[in-house]
Amino acid sequence: MRFKEIVYQETSKIPKGRVATYSYIARKAGLPRAVRAVGNIMNNNPFPGTGKGKVPCHRVVRSDRSPGGFASGTEKKVRLLRKEGIVFDKNRIQERFFL
């Protein structure tokens, strides 16, 4: 299986109301130093959203607990995360929501 497919597979495992870091996904995909590659893969996600067959790329965030980028804009990413119950403190996601 190619790295990109593994990244999508691992991202699809992030449950609603939880987040994972780009570095977490890189480690789970077998290339712990490929953090930037994970970000690029998320930016080009052809299956955004939630539900069967979708890849919830909005649930992948930065290690500093900030939301990070999003193809539809960071504000939309924050709205989606808040809608799923994620709580922020001063633009940082509370640690209890991380895998």
Asked if 57 contacts 77 with a C-beta cutoff of 8 angstroms, the reply is no
| H or E element that contains 88 | strand 88-89
**Residue 99 within any structural domain of the chain:** no
How many folded domains does the chain comprise?
1
Residue 42 included in any domain: yes
What one-letter code names the amino acid at 52?
Answer: K
Going by C-beta distance under 8 Å and a sequence separation of 6 or more, which residues neighbour residue 14? 20, 56, 59, 60, 99
CB-CB neighbours of 73 under 10 Å: 10
For residue 60, tell me if it sits in a domain. Answer: yes
Residue 50, domain CATH = 1.10.10.10
Query: Tens digit of pLDDT for each residue in 14-72?
Result: 999 999 999 999 999 999 999 999 999 999 999 999 989 999 999 999 999 999 999 88
Give the other-Cβ count within 10 Å of 62's Cβ. 17
Answer positive or negative: Cα dihedral of 47, 29, 97, 93.
negative
pLDDT at 82 over 90: yes
Instruction: Go through the chain and tell me how many residues it has.
Output: 99
Range of the domain at 51: 3-94
Report the 10 Å Cβ neighbour count for 58. Answer: 28
Point out the residues that are catalytic: 57
- pLDDT at residue 1 tops 90: no
The C-alpha atoms of residue 55 and residue 45 are separated, in whole angstroms, by 7
